[in-house]
Structure 1
Amino acid sequence: MFRFLMMTVFAVAFTATPIAVPVAAKDLGKPQEEVVLTVSNAAVTNMDGAAVLDLAMLEQLGARSFETTTIWTDGPQQFDGVSLATLIDALGMQGDALRATAINDYSVTIPLEDISDEGAMIAFRMNGAPMSVRDKGPLWIVYPYDSDPRFQTEIIYSRSIWQLDRLEVLN
């Protein structure tokens, strides 16, 4: 009887406590092309404790597009990319903020609470073409600036980091 009770207590103790387990690398897949984005401190990883993604992997998360003007370009531009909210969900990112860092190590902090489906996107194409480093690529965090005055502030403009290559979840 004692053995049965101990086994029951042991089983309940280990099934009643949820444990956050990172998703295995096979669930995210491995990049087949050049890595364009490395995400640190995400729950879903595929290489050395980070999520590394190539362009095809970003596209598979669900591309969206919008047209908007920016303060850095002339006239309306068409952007294609993945919603930052979608990427956060796909990689199980939990924390207070994201540090977005560019190729030249410039970085900005974006509070997770400010990220929504209709907001920021990690753009990988502008006007239907991939963006070169010279044209603010290969990745650029852009907002649909023309759609809402809340996307036309200095804070939002400062978060619109181009030549993005790294994200880090901050707690």
Structure 2
Amino acid sequence: MWRRLGLITLLTLAPVTAGQVNPASKSRLPAFTYVRAAQPTPKAKPGERRALTISTGQRELNLTLGQLQAMPAVRYTTHHPQLKRSFTYEGVTLRDLAARGGFLGRDLRVYAANGFASTIRAEDYMNWPIMLAYRADGAPIPILHKGPLTVVLPERPERFHAGEYSAAWVWFAERIAPAQ
């Protein structure tokens, strides 16, 4: 059974605590918690809308919000630079989404409904809990707060909240694909 779960699932179920050293970057991980292990993926209900498309080049995987919420979930508090306030976000790590799409370890592009797109480097989403959030402060993320799906970056490293990464805070996210 453990072989069928795969290495990524095992990694996402490993307990992670605030202050743990991230071996890849030799720095301290931000405070975050996996709040739920993977659940069986539910079938889309009749009339249920697609929330996210994971494109691999050869195929597309359309996921509903319920299917996203069945994936392992992470939660942490961070400051949203555009909204100028902090929220406790919950969602799926980009690492888990890339694994689901079969392009783990490759840079990825996140596309928004308005045509905006941003590239997130593999070394960052592999080593930090960058997430596609669907909840803020325990509730669905409203459009006025950049929802219903938004890319969220942890407080550390500080560069995630500076110039280079300001475009990575993609809101109204609807598609993820490997970068060309």
Compute the TM-score of the two structures, normalised by the length of structure 2. 0.68
Shift of 1:95: 6.9
The question of 1:138 aligning with 2:148 is answered yes
Q: Do the aligned partners of 1:37 and 1:52 also contact (CA within 8 Å) in 2? A: yes
Tell me whether 1:39 sits opposite 2:51 in the alignment.
no
- State yes or no: 1:89 paired with 2:89: no
Q: Within 5 Å, give how 1:53-92 maps onto structure 2.
A: 53-92=63-102
More helix, by proportion: 1
Partner of 1:102: 112
Tell me the residue number matched to 1:158.
Answer: 167
RMSD (CA atoms): 2.3
Q: TM-score, normalized by length of structure 1?
A: 0.71
* Counterpart-to-counterpart distance in 2, 1:28 and 1:125: 19
Q: CA 1:148–1:111 in 2, change beyond 3 Å: closer, same or farther? A: closer
Unaligned runs of 5+ in 1: 1-26, 44-48
SS at match of 1:116: helix
The secondary structure found in structure 2 opposite 1:168 is strand
Q: Distance in 2 between matches of 1:90 and 1:35?
A: 16
Q: Which residue of 1 aligns with 2:12?
A: none
Q: Does the CA-based 8 Å contact 1:141-1:162 persist in structure 2?
A: yes
Evaluate the alpha carbon distance shift between residue 128 and residue 88 of structure 1 in structure 2; reply closer, same or farther with a 3 A threshold: same
CA distance in 1, matches of 2:144, 2:105: 32
After TM superposition, the structure 1 = structure 2 runs for residues 119-130 of structure 1, keeping only pairs within 5 Å, are 119-130=129-140
**Kept in 2: contact 1:84–1:117 (CA 8 A):** no
- Quote the offset at 1:135 in angstroms: 2.4
In the TM superposition, residue 157 of structure 1 has moved relative to its aligned partner by 1.9
- Provide structure 2 residue ranges, at least 5 long, that are not aligned to the other structure: 1-39
Q: Paired residue for 2:123?
A: 113
**1:75–1:134 CA distance, 2 compared to 1 (3 A):** closer
Q: Distance in 1 between matches of 2:164 and 2:43?
A: 35
Q: Specify whether residues 152 and 30 from structure 1 end up closer, same or farther in structure 2 by C-alpha distance, changes over 3 A only.
A: same
How far apart in 1 are the matches of 2:125 and 2:43?
26
* 1:122 and 1:142 in contact (8 A); partners too: yes
Q: What corresponds to 1:168 in structure 2?
A: 177
Counterpart of 1:19 in structure 2 is none
**What secondary structure sits across from 1:76 in the alignment?**
strand
User: How much has 1:92 moved relative to structure 2?
Assistant: 1.6
SS, match of residue 68 in structure 2: helix
Give me the whole-angstrom Cα distance separating, in 2, the residues matched to 1:29 and 1:127. 25
